Amino acid sequence: MSYTQAPVAFFGATGGCALACLVRTLNAGIDSRALVRTPQKLLDLLAARGVSSAKIEKHLVLLQGNALDVEAVKQVFTVEVSLVIFGIGGAPAFSPNPLRLFLTLDQPEICGKAMTTVLAALSTTPCRPPIACISTTGLRSPARDVPLLLVPLYHWLLAIPHKDKQRMEDVLLESGREWVIVKPSLLQDGEGKGKVTRVGWEGEGGKPAVGTFINRKSVGEWLFEEVVQVQKREQWVGRKVTLTW
């Protein structure tokens, strides 16, 4: 199948969820633009997932730079894009506090700062694409979106990464732009159970889907099927969508 929509912009494309979405996007013949610090790393990841060199050459513009550098981010928006997929996140890092072992990040404010940078770059262009960002359950919510037994894990052990994700959401919501916030339950690698089995949302007409785990590939493929594909996107714009098995 071939598409003629404007390119999709990717930030954090070497991460599991955004990477899985990019794989499906390229294989569908949709043009994409990705800003990454190490282009060869992304090329290797795409090749390992079966994306042909012909698809990459035809449909991917690969730009080298840091998502915290507004001038680098502006490179992505030198052409009109139809959608932004924002999958940036920090990597787990050791903390000097033994009670926080493994539960801080190498860059504890990366999500909020990178979202601010992307929005600043967009503000210099006439481009107004919807922004779909990958967040998490367990943040501020009018209804509980995690299993009751996991509430201590989310609100204590994951406090540092969740503070950053909350900042990212707040910055996006305050921007006045169209958005979709995707909130998966605890993320796993590998194939797992396959596709997303439960979808919910906060607010009118919905309730969060409450579950324990989902894998990154399933989240990325849901993003492709429901948000990248224009004909399905509208139902999710302006919603915080929870995904789980």
- The pLDDT confidence band at residue 98, using thresholds 50, 70 and 90, is low
pLDDT at position 155 is 79
The residue written with tokens 């396959």 in the block is 194
222 touches 196 (CB < 8 A): yes
Q: Tell whether the model's pLDDT for residue 177 goes beyond 80.
A: yes
- pTM of this prediction? 0.93
Q: Tell whether the model's pLDDT for residue 107 goes beyond 60.
A: yes
- Name the percent of the chain lying above pLDDT 70: 92
Tokens representing 3 are 């598409």
- Mean pLDDT throughout 168-194? 92
Q: What is the pairing mode between strands 179-184 and 240-244?
A: parallel
Whole-angstrom CA distances from 53 to 3, 17, 46, 104, 243 are 19, 21, 9, 37, 32
Q: Tell whether the model's pLDDT for residue 2 goes beyond 70.
A: no
Closest by CA position to 132, among listed 173, 179, 175? 179
Set out the domains of the chain in order of their start, with CATH numbers: 8-244 (3.40.50.720)
Helix axis angle, 216-223 relative to 16-27, nearest 10°? 40
Which of 3 and 70 is assigned the larger pLDDT?
70
Residues composing the chain: 245
Closest by CA position to 213, among listed 239, 229, 235, 194? 194
pLDDT digits (tens, 9 = 90+) for 21-66: 999 999 999 999 999 999 999 999 999 999 999 999 999 999 999 9
pLDDT digits (tens, 9 = 90+) for 211-229: 999 999 999 999 999 999 9
pLDDT at position 190 is 81
Which of 92 and 207 is assigned the larger pLDDT?
207
CA 70 to the chain's CA centroid:
19
The residue written with tokens 């539960």 in the block is 103
- Mean pLDDT throughout 187-212? 86
Tokens representing 183 are 């909130």
181 touches 172 (CB < 8 A): yes
Q: Tell whether the model's pLDDT for residue 94 goes beyond 80.
A: no
- Mean pLDDT throughout 6-34? 98
What single string gives the DSSP state of each residue in 36-64? ES-HHHHHHHHHHTT--HHHHHHHEEEEE
User: For residues 223 and 12, what is the distance between their CA atoms, to the nearest angstrom?
Assistant: 14
User: For residues 177 and 231, what is the distance between their CA atoms, to the nearest angstrom?
Assistant: 19
